[in-house]
Amino acid sequence: MALDVDRIRNIAERVAGSSGLEVVDVEVRGSGSARMLRVYLDKPGASANDPLGGVTHGDCADFSREFGTILDVEDAVPGGSYTLEVSSPGLDRKLAKAADFERFIGSRVKLMTRQPVHNNRYFEGRLESFADGVMVLDTTAASKKSRKKMAAEPGQKIEIEFANVEKANLVPEL
């Protein structure tokens, strides 16, 4: 019997919602008895500028107990054993949905595009805005190493279409 990741995500979102949490991502890795199910949680409204406002260890433990029980009762992970990991997305969290980019306007991000923009695919800078599927990235905030990699002029503002983003993460600012 095949693993239904959408069903697992729906159960995770139901459990998280009842606890005031949100599901950032669900990953299933491996096969057979070496299967790993990872769920990344956050609190709505938590931001990169408030690292203490996110999900706590207790939140993860409570979610894990309730979610694991429901998975087992509903037999949502058929075929025996699996390892369940529940954690926060971390300070360098992945940005995958348009809502993620809207939420983290003002934060430093690094991203890779599918197609080159200004002859580059790698960018780092401050997410200045996101509207109508287009983000504006201010490269002033990029590290020297990143500026060399992307060959951007300091202070250059670059428009990148959300559909062109292959991978994106926050850059921790401590």
Give the CATH fold of the 98-170 domain: SH3 type barrels. (2.30.30)
Contact criterion met (CB below 8 Å) for 63 and 86: yes
Which residues belong to CATH 3.30.300.70 in the chain? 5-87
pLDDT along the chain (174 residues), means of 10: 83 94 90 85 71 80 95 84 90 90 93 93 93 92 65 76 96 83
The edge-to-edge listing of strands for the beta sheet with 157-161 is 157-161, 134-138, 120-131, 108-117, 165-170
Answer whether CATH 3.40.50.1100 is correct for domain 5-87.
no
- Residue pair 130/140 in contact (Cβ under 8 Å)? The answer is no
Q: Strand pairing of 108-117 and 120-131?
A: antiparallel
The 3-state DSSP class for residue 83 equals: strand
Give the pTM: 0.76
